[in-house]
Amino acid sequence: MSTPNILMTRIDNRLVHGQVGVTWVNALGANLLLVANDSAAQDPVQQNLMDMVIAEGIQTRYFTLQKTIDIIGKAAERQKIFIVCKTPQDVLTLIKGGVPIKFVNVGNMHFYEGKKQIHKTVSVDDNDIAAFKELEKLGVTCEVRRVPDESGEKIADLLNLSS
C-alpha cells in the first residue's frame, strides 16, 4: 500500500457546499473530493445534491468511514485527495484506522442546544472537545479556517488545550 496523496481533511457538518466544492477544491488543486460519512455514503439524493456544487472535472467518492479506512491506501499517486468529514469524531475514527491525516481544517460545526460557541462558525460539546484533545495528543493540527484566504486559528488555542 502506498501513502495516499491527502491534500487536506476538513470537518464541515454541511459536508459539501459551494465553499467546499469550488473554493477549497480549487485552492488545494484537488482532483478528488472524498466525503467520508456513513450517512452520505448510503444516500444517493444527498450525493446528487453535493455533486451539483462541485467544480467541473473533480471526481467524487462517498464512502463510509470503514470503506475509507479500507481503501485509502489503494489511491493512485495522481489522485490529489481532499477529504471531508462531518465531525471530529469521524476524523479520529479515520486516523485510528490508519488514514495518514496530520492536519485538519475545521470549517463549520453548527451551534445547537448543548454546544458552546468557540468561533464564529464552530460550536462544540464535550464529545467534540474530547475528540479534539485526542487529535492534539496524536500530533494532528486542527485549525479553524472557513475559506483559504482567511488566516487560521488553532483549535488547541480556542479550547485552551496545552500539549
Cell triple for residue 18? 459551494
Exposed, middle or buried: residue 78 (CB in 10 Å: 0-12, 13-18, 19+)?
exposed
> What are the grid coordinates assigned to 79, written together?
489522485
Half-sphere exposure of 154 (CA within 13 A, CB side): 13
Give the list of residues 6+ apart from residue 163 with CB closer than 8 angstroms, or none. 136, 137, 156
Residues acting as catalytic residues: 17
Find how far residue 37's CA is from the centre of its chain.
10
